[in-house]
Structure 1
Amino acid sequence: MTNKRAVLIVLDSVGIGELPDAADFGDEGADTLGHIAQTVEGFDMPNMRSLGLGNIAGVDDLEPVDEPCANFGRMLEIAPGKDTTSGHWEFAGVMMDKPFRTFPNGFPDDIIEAFCDKIGVDGVLGNRPESGTVIIEELGREHEETGKPIVYTSADPVFQIAAKEDVVGLDTLYEWCEAAYEIVTPRGISRVIARPFVGEWPNYERTANRKDYSFPPPSKTMMEELVEHGVDVTGVGKISDIYSGRGITEKIKTKNNDHGVEVTLDCMKNRNGFIFTNLVDFDSKYGHRRNPEGYAQALERFDEQLPEIIETLQDGDLLIITADHGNDPTYAGTDHTREYVPLVALIKGGGWGKDLGTRKCFSDVGATVADYFGVDWTVGESFLGELK
């Protein structure tokens, strides 16, 4: 087992400006971080700026520093998508040649009819893109009266099923999800998600019994290669779900961003290997809900926690902070946005202040992590040598 440690933190949806092909996705002019800075008076991330965030090409709304204490750059995505799965798979060297499907108008009749036939119900509630908390509040009482599943989707290629635990029961909800998985994954959906809730209207609460049924990566992930070489891989947050558990030796669920940082710090103090964290609140709570003020507060909260993360690193540890796509809270609609993502990287005690430039694909992250552990990996180009 290795005594080395690498930490990858994904700030879910924190894009930094439109990619060259953004217009093909309907995202011309999108800039998640820039528009937050322009919209929210007084917004600042001084600790991330000290690492070089404001020095990245295209980040024009955050002040650069003269001597960044990390290495910095940006990355573009090769995969023809802008969803969580596409971005994370590319980190790990799984390159998609066609996007997953999203359903901005809800699922077609043939999918819903097949689902209802398979689980033996006479219809569903909802069937549209919506915030989970909103649709549960709106349809929860009807669900209690009828027992029908609440089905909804989002900007991600997901089929979500909400049900009240004391109306349907978890076992039944999970069976519904398994049935849906067989129907929708051949149609280009990446995940089916069980969304159980409890309480009384209008104060319903979603529970920790969420369960994801994920389409597995079609090729080997960088993490699987690490595990084969004796490197432990800890997935924090929704990481294990995104990869259908492939290459994850331990998964730890999180409740929110603060809990995700808390768990990551605990892992850094108590275990070695690769610690891979996703902080999802930026995307789920603020990006999709088009809330730049809340998004700004969440970013500033992470920035406040950053010094403790840096302090907890031991000499020789690798830290990479990046994002998986954009979700501009000032943009039209509620979809993700096709953007560059930031890249901030350092080895504790190593060199800093270098511009890593524009990386050609997200897989450079996976190549760097593999290189750090001395594991051969051929997808992407490692930038480890520039960090030492």
Structure 2
Amino acid sequence: MFKRVIILVLDSVGIGAAPDAAEYGDGKVNTLANIARSQGGLFLPNLEKMGLGCIEDITGVKKTAAPQASYGKMAEISKGKDTTSGHWELAGCPLFAPFPVYPDGFPPVMIEQFTALTGRKILGNKVASGTEIIAELGAEHMRTGYPIVYTSADSVFQIAAHEEVIPLDHLYELCKIAREQVCTGEHAVGRIIARPFTGRPGEFVRTANRHDYSLTPPADTVLDVMKAAGYSVTGIGKIGDIFAHRGLTRSVPSKSNADGMEILTALTRGNAGNGLIMVNLVDFDSKYGHRNDVAGYAGALEQFDEALGRLLPAIAAGDLLLITADHGCDPTAPGTDHTREYVPLMAYAKDGRGQPLGTRSTFADVAATVAANFGLPPFAYGTSFLSELL
């Protein structure tokens, strides 16, 4: 039906507590609704027209009688609330064994192996916010040259280093050692993340040179299947990192939400060919959700809505735009962790008319819909909603 499908993932923009949220330590979380209520409303005219207010009551967002997009929400069946499991499930590969997490820091065997392989002692080894730990340990790192190793509630092994102390190439090499030789077997975390920063004590700033080293998906994703069938598969932002650079014919990094939307709009307007484009906009999560910056998150949502207004005219008659998320990160909730939430689903086609898509039982419905559209074999999980868009 469609020549090109665009999956736009708003990282962490959840839309209400999932049925099993309590099992993940989450209460009445709702990233979108709680931000809107705390700020006295959100101004999201383009998302409003597409039907966002028909999914959930969001202060400032009206429930339109004739939405331009089909709309609904999706629950996650993977055992986690992290970026990797969320994206993999969207792509048709849910995970039923959770990645390992380290609420008390990494065990001695992992740290000893890392230091032996790299020849460097480390600082940190605890659960921490990225900005807080470089503020705490950045000066000692500059004095000693020891990398800062830390984790979070997610399954991540993060290495922070000042770009003038440990050059980027060397930091990336440290991450590759961790990925290939330390974080394996029972300690195979979802991602190794390079967290470079610059500045001086009291004024440290993380740079845009972050790099993720993900595990390889355990089964084929819709990206793999599309590529094998000869279609163009473009990843924008950290999509390449999340899928271990598998299943892509082209990977385009981005520096911010705004940059990612500019890249997507240019590619869409430039007729990048038939196939699939998948985009991740990470700022919602990394800059605002994890930092409990409610006002900043609200501003980022409104800025995205403006950029969406510039993207929509570039959507061609043969395009299908799917807007969704990978998990929640409610900045009004206690703590700085991801939150187990439903994610919004909006499906926009030029001159289409919006239909309710209901509450979907798995993110994998997205992959199932893409596969059905291109006449590819169905996945083990997920139900296509393609026929509901006709």
For 1:189-268, what aligned pairs fall within 5 Å after superposition? Answer: 189-268=189-268
Query: What residue identity is the alignment partner of 1:288?
Result: H
The equivalent residue for 1:163 is: 161
For 1:307-386, what aligned pairs fall within 5 Å after superposition? Answer: 307-350=309-352, 352-378=353-379, 379-386=381-388
Question: Post-superposition shift, 1:153?
Answer: 1.8
Question: Post-superposition shift, 1:177?
Answer: 1.4
Alignment equivalent of 2:303, drawn from 301, 304, 308: 301
What TM-score does the superposition give when structure 1 sets the normalisation length? 0.94
C-alpha contact 1:364 1:380 (8 A) present in aligned 2: yes
C-alpha contact 1:221 1:246 (8 A) present in aligned 2: no
The separation in 1 between residues aligned to 2:208 and 2:282, in whole angstroms, is: 15
For 1:10-21, what aligned pairs fall within 5 Å after superposition? Answer: 10-21=9-20
The equivalent residue for 1:30 is: 29
The separation in 2 between residues aligned to 1:168 and 1:305, in whole angstroms, is: 36
C-alpha contact 1:185 1:215 (8 A) present in aligned 2: no
C-alpha contact 1:316 1:349 (8 A) present in aligned 2: no
Question: Post-superposition shift, 1:15?
Answer: 0.7
1:4 is aligned to 2:6? no
Equivalent position SS for 1:307: helix
Query: What residue identity is the alignment partner of 2:57?
Result: V
Question: Post-superposition shift, 1:20?
Answer: 0.8
The separation in 1 between residues aligned to 2:39 and 2:102, in whole angstroms, is: 31
Deviates more, 1:177-186 or 1:339-348: 177-186
Question: Post-superposition shift, 1:304?
Answer: 1.4
Gaps of 5+ in 2: none
Q: CA RMSD, aligned part only?
A: 1.8
Gaps of 5+ in 1: none
Deviations 1:87-143 (A, max 9, x none): 10001111211111222332223322221122122x311222333233223322211
C-alpha contact 1:104 1:129 (8 A) present in aligned 2: yes
1:274 is aligned to 2:263? no
The separation in 1 between residues aligned to 2:213 and 2:41, in whole angstroms, is: 41
The separation in 2 between residues aligned to 1:190 and 1:163, in whole angstroms, is: 20
Query: What residue identity is the alignment partner of 1:243?
Result: F
C-alpha contact 1:233 1:249 (8 A) present in aligned 2: yes
The separation in 1 between residues aligned to 2:369 and 2:249, in whole angstroms, is: 20
Equivalent position SS for 1:212: strand
The equivalent residue for 1:144 is: 142
C-alpha contact 1:79 1:97 (8 A) present in aligned 2: yes
Query: What residue identity is the alignment partner of 2:227?
Result: V
The equivalent residue for 1:284 is: 286
Q: List 4+ stretches of structure 1 deviating above 6 A.
A: none
The count of corresponding residues between Structure 1 and Structure 2 is 384
Query: What residue identity is the alignment partner of 2:287?
Result: K
Deviations 1:168-213 (A, max 9, x none): 2333322321221221232141111222333433434434443322
What TM-score does the superposition give when structure 2 sets the normalisation length? 0.94
Equivalent position SS for 1:106: coil
C-alpha contact 1:37 1:44 (8 A) present in aligned 2: no
Query: What residue identity is the alignment partner of 1:218?
Result: P
Question: Post-superposition shift, 1:37?
Answer: 1.3
C-alpha contact 1:16 1:59 (8 A) present in aligned 2: no
Equivalent position SS for 1:69: coil
C-alpha contact 1:163 1:173 (8 A) present in aligned 2: yes
